[in-house]
Structure formats: structure tokens, C-alpha cells
Amino acid sequence: MRQINQTQVTEFLLLGLSDGPHTEQLLFIVLLGVYLVTVVGNLLLMSLVHVDSQLHTPMYFFLCNLSLADLCFSTNIVPQALVHLLSRKKVVAFTLCAVRLLFFLIFGCTQCGLLAVMSCDRYVAICNPLRYPNIMTWKVCVQLATGSWTSGILVSVVYTTFTLRLPYRGSNSIAHFFCEAPALLILASTDTHASEMAIFLMGVVILLIPVFLILVSYGCIIVTVVKMKSTVGSLKAFSTCGSHLMVVILFYGSAIITYMTPKSSKQQEKSVSVFYAIVTPMLNPLIYSLRNKDVKAALRKVATRNFPCRLGISH
């Protein structure tokens, strides 16, 4: 599977998460379960928001965008990983690797923007509830969502360009389970300093700035919640903020470790990427929406409408 030193690499060998047959079978079952939950959870959320007019609010509009990004993000990675877990030939063509890298970054970077936008939306809703309808108009919501997708695309093009413009000769074995920029740069047969600096600067834009906005927003939310007279309301708000922050820390923390810290060990890099590439797309619909009483009410409404007999409900 190695190319001649002076020959441009035309395909990559993905070493995967494990090289043990029994471990790979177990990983296949786990990843398949996680992927199915991801697909069902995100599709269910988008469907509920579409059919229930009570969910036609800015918060659920952003959640639908996040679900779409999560679904595409996971679908770009997990199916190929599942196939490779059952295959001896874990090879991907250079062109396909480049395409998957581009789309992985587009959907991942878009998530970063959307999570920051959602935190700002919650800040306005909790800290300035009377001005919320005037601030978060549909025009503003569409602009914020469009900005998240546009920034994701632009940053991804820069990432991909600085990664794939390098010559790749010699070894073609990627110590990873999918094509990711840091893992690819290790194989480049030239100095990668310029590319690493470009990726670091893009990381500041798409990772550190959104994290700063999220922490400031939730900091203001917590201060507002502490001042609430209602103990029940305070506990509920803290529970919601805690769940959201858990996902944010998991997603951004693992992404920052991969993209903005000195080169870590290959095994550590693979393990860390599992969190933001596979786990968070499953957790987002569960934590951000399906625990919400409005979504539960919409789910019950759809269920009673479509399966009234089974639920013992007559019209």
C-alpha cells in the first residue's frame, strides 16, 4: 500500500480505530447504534418543527439548522467508518478523501457558528425577554443562519486548500478512521509550517471566537438566573444551561485539542475526534430539544394524530 517515493499518492489507507477483529466487530455495533440514534433524533426534530406551528420560533429554527448540519456531518463520516470496520481493504481515493474532508469541515465549522448563534439567542430571550421579538426577527434569524453556513464554507475552503495543496509522496497510511486535516498533514512530504499556521488562524476564527461568545452569553444568563425569585425557574434554567454547556465543552474542547494544540499522539487524536465527529451529533437533538416540553408536546400531538387507535384515543 505504499507509493514510490517520487510518485504522488493517489489513495490513502485508513488504519481505523482498531486493528483487532473482535474489537472492530464491537465498534461496528456501537457506531451503528450511535449513527441510527443520530439519524432518527435529528430527522425527528426537523419533522416536528416542520409540522407543528408552535415550534416555528427562532430557537427551533436554529435547532433545525443544527440538526441538518449534525445529520450531514455524521453521514459524511460514520457510514464509511462502518464499512471499513467490516472490510480488510480500508482504502479511500485521494479525490474522495479531499471531498470528504471539505464536507466534514463545512458541516463541522457551520456547527461552531450555529452553537454561538444559539447561545446569543438564549441570552436575548432570558436577559432581555421584552425586547426579544424586536431583536430576533425572522430576517435577523435568516441572516444569522446564513452567516453560519457561509462562514463554515469559507473557513472549510481555506482549511482544505492549505491541507491538499501540499505534495503527498511516500507513505499513504493515515492513522485515523476518516480523512482529517491534522492526520493528513503528518503525511505531507514537505514543510507544513505555513499550512499549520493557516489552520491555527482559522481555528481562532471558527473555534475560539464562538467559544468566547458562548461563555459570555451563558455567563450573563447565569447571572440573570441567580437573580430570579422563583427557585423552580432558577433550577430549570440551570439544568438547561448545564446540559447545553456540557455539549459545548465536549464539542469545542475536543476540536480545540485536535486543531489548536501541538501535535498529539496518533491514538489520542483518533480518540478525541470521536467526541466531536460522532458523539455530539447524537447528543445535540437529545439535549437541546427532545428534553424540551414543547417538543414533547409536539411529539404527543403527532402521535395522537397518526396513531389514535393504538393510544386509545377516539375522535
Q: Given pLDDT bands bounded at 50, 70 and 90, which one contains residue 192?
A: confident
Does 2 reside within a domain? no
Position 238 pLDDT exceeds 80: no
CATH for 177:
1.20.1070.10
> What does the pLDDT look like over 290-304, one tens digit per residue?
667 777 777 788 777
Are 202 and 158 in contact by the 8 Å Cβ rule? The answer is yes
Residue-averaged pLDDT of the chain: 84
Does 256 reside within a domain? yes
Question: Distance between CA atoms of 276 and 260, rounded to whole angstroms?
Answer: 14
β strands within the chain, DSSP E: 11-14, 91-93, 173-174
Number of separate domains in the chain: 1
Question: Distance between CA atoms of 182 and 288, rounded to whole angstroms?
Answer: 30
Higher local confidence (pLDDT), 260 or 84: 84
Does 315 reside within a domain? no
pLDDT of residue 285: 85
Does 230 reside within a domain? yes
List % helix, strand, coil for the chain (3-state, nearest 5): 75, 5, 20
Q: Given pLDDT bands bounded at 50, 70 and 90, which one contains residue 313?
A: very low
In angstroms, how far is CA 267 from the centroid of its own chain?
21
Does 313 reside within a domain? no
- Name the pTM for this structure: 0.88
Q: Give me the sign of the Cα torsion angle 198, 199, 201, 202.
A: positive
Question: Distance between CA atoms of 273 and 73, rounded to whole angstroms?
Answer: 13
- Give me the residues paired with residue 91 across strands: 13
Query: Domain range holding 22?
Result: 11-301
Does 4 reside within a domain? no
Beta strands 11-14 and 173-174, pairing class = parallel
DSSP per-residue letters across 163-193: HHTS--BS--EESSSS--HHHHHTT-SS--H
Tell me the average pLDDT across 129-136: 92
The number of helices, as runs of H, and strands, as runs of E, in the chain is 12, 3
> What does the pLDDT look like over 200-236, one tens digit per residue?
888 888 888 999 999 999 888 888 887 776 666 666 6
Does 29 reside within a domain? yes
- Cell 473555534, residue located: 207
| 55: Cβ contacts below 8 Å, ≥ 6 apart | 48, 49, 294, 295, 298
> What does the pLDDT look like over 46-104, one tens digit per residue?
998 888 888 889 989 999 999 999 999 999 999 999 998 888 888 999 999 999 999 99
Does 234 reside within a domain? yes
Higher local confidence (pLDDT), 172 or 148: 148
Q: Given pLDDT bands bounded at 50, 70 and 90, which one contains residue 246?
A: confident
pLDDT of residue 96: 93
Per-residue DSSP letter, 8: B
Phi-psi region of 163 (alpha: psi -120 to 50; beta: other; left: phi over 0): alpha
pLDDT of residue 2: 44
Higher local confidence (pLDDT), 124 or 21: 124
